[in-house]
């Protein structure tokens, strides 16, 4: 018995249209189960209801224009690359957490706060949102503002700033949408404003003069 070609096309079209929502639901449900650690009916039921509500709200929010009139749409994300990006990001979060803990426990606490501003070449608003959130999730950096193609980020020490402007994270986010994206192409028009170290040195000079 052969399947009707029209039915096949409808099924394929349905999957393409809603695969983003289905992926969101699966990822959110998996996260709910991992965080709750409970696998009986009641928490699974409440999790499914919560996930359905979040996915529905997200589908509505996507069509609300931003302040500049831009809509959060763009190329479809490459699922296989996303599955490799998430473990990489989790590893960066763990490594950065240990580094920040080292700085905190160091007797001299060698931090050097700074504001880093750079221009991004990411292809759409969603990619910029992913990069901004990835930066904020990584200890030692915080996305303060995204205006157009420009990111303003707070970094606590030079090493963190160097990792940020290397373009590695930005290129990995770009690869979720683009076929080719290298770190050398990313993070242009970089400006850095350092506060902590300069202020400390100026204070030391004033004390020496006295």
Domain boundaries, the chain: 5-61, 79-201
Check whether domain 79-201 has CATH 3.30.70, yes or no: yes
In whole angstroms, how large is the CA radius of gyration of the chain?
22
CA distance to 24, 39, 49, 50, 166, per residue, from 43 (Å): 19, 7, 10, 10, 43
Are the C-beta atoms of residues 68 and 150 closer than 8 Å to each other?
Answer: no
pLDDT tens digits for range 149-186: 899 999 998 888 888 889 899 999 998 888 777 888 78
pLDDT tens digits for range 78-99: 878 888 998 999 899 999 999 9
Percent of the chain with pLDDT over 70: 76
User: For 55-78, what is the mean pLDDT?
Assistant: 66
Cα angle 180-123-170, degrees, rounded to a multiple of 5: 65
What's this model's pTM, rounded to 2 decimal places? 0.70
**Position 118 pLDDT exceeds 90:** yes
How far is the C-alpha of 96 from the C-alpha of 160, rounded, in Å? 9
Tokens of 40: 């009986």
Looking at residue 107, what is its pLDDT? 86
Tokens of 88: 């990489």
Element at 125 (helix H, strand E): helix 125-137
DSSP assignments along 36-63, one per residue? H---SHHHHHHHHHHHHHHHHHHHHHTT
Q: Which of 4-13, 31-40, 49-58, 90-99 has the highest mean pLDDT?
A: 90-99
Locus of tokens 């850095």: 192
Locus of tokens 């979060």: 93
Looking at residue 64, what is its pLDDT? 59
Sign, CA torsion 58/32/77/127: positive
How far is the C-alpha of 200 from the C-alpha of 188, rounded, in Å? 29
């Amino acid at each position: 018995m052969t399947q009707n070609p029209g039915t096949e096309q409808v099924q394929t079209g349905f999957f393409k249209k809603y695969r983003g929502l289905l992926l969101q639901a699966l990822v959110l449900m998996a996260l709910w189960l991992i965080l709750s650690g409970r696998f009986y009916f009641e928490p699974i039921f409440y999790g499914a209801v919560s996930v359905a509500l979040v996915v529905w709200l997200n589908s509505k929010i996507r069509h609300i224009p931003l302040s500049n009139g831009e809509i959060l749409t763009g190329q479809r994300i490459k699922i296989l690359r996303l599955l490799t990006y998430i473990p990489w990001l989790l590893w960066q979060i763990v490594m950065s957490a240990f580094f920040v803990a080292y700085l905190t426990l160091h007797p001299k606490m060698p931090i050097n706060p700074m504001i880093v501003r750079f221009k991004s070449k990411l292809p759409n608003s969603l990619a910029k949102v992913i990069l901004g959130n990835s930066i904020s999730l990584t200890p030692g950096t915080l996305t303060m503002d995204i205006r157009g193609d420009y990111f303003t980020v707070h970094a606590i020490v030079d090493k963190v700033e160097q990792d940020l402007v290397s373009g590695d994270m930005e290129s990995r986010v770009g690869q979720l949408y683009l076929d080719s994206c290298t770190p050398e192409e990313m993070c242009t028009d970089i400006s850095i404003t350092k506060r902590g170290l300069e202020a400390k040195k100026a204070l030391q000079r004033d004390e020496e003069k006295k």
